[in-house]
Amino acid sequence: MVSRIEPRLACPEPSNYSERCTVYVCRTCCTQTGFEWSDFDKHIGSRFSNLMYPDRQAVEREVADKLTDENSFLDFYCSGCNGVVRVYYRYEPPEGEFIPEGSS
C-alpha cells in the first residue's frame, strides 16, 4: 500500500545555478530535480498534468484559495519519495512579444 504525501506548493525561484536551468529540491526527502527553463516554456498556458487524476484533484482543491496570479504550472512525482509536486509560476511575455491565443 502506497501512502500519499500531502500535496505541497512549490515556487520556482530564479537560480544563480545557471541561465539554462534551475533545480527543485523536495521539501520531504531533499531529492533534487533539474529543469531547463525551456521545460517551463512548454507548459505556458497548458492544463496538461503528469499526475494521476485523484492526485491532480487533491492538488487543485488544496491550492484553490491560495493562488494569486499564477497562470502556468508543471507537476510530477518526486523520484525520491513519490510525493506529488506541482510548481506554479506566472509567465509574462517580454515586452513587444506577441503570443497568438491558443498557440501555447
Phi-psi bin for 43: left (phi > 0), alpha (psi -120 to 50), beta? alpha
Domain extent listing, the chain: 8-89
Q: Does pTM surpass 0.75?
A: no
Grid cell, residue 25, equals 529540491
pLDDT in tens, the chain (104 residues): 333 334 444 444 545 556 778 888 999 999 999 888 888 888 888 889 999 999 999 999 998 888 888 888 999 999 999 999 998 888 887 776 655 555 54
Output the pLDDT for position 39. 86
Q: From its phi and psi, is residue 82 left (phi > 0), alpha (psi between -120 and 50) or beta?
A: left
Predicted local distance difference test score (pLDDT) of residue 17: 55
pLDDT at 46: 85
Whole-angstrom CA distances from 51 to 8, 20, 21, 54, 103 are 14, 25, 23, 8, 23
Environment class of 22 (CB within 10 Å of its CB; exposed 0-12, middle 13-18, buried 19+): buried
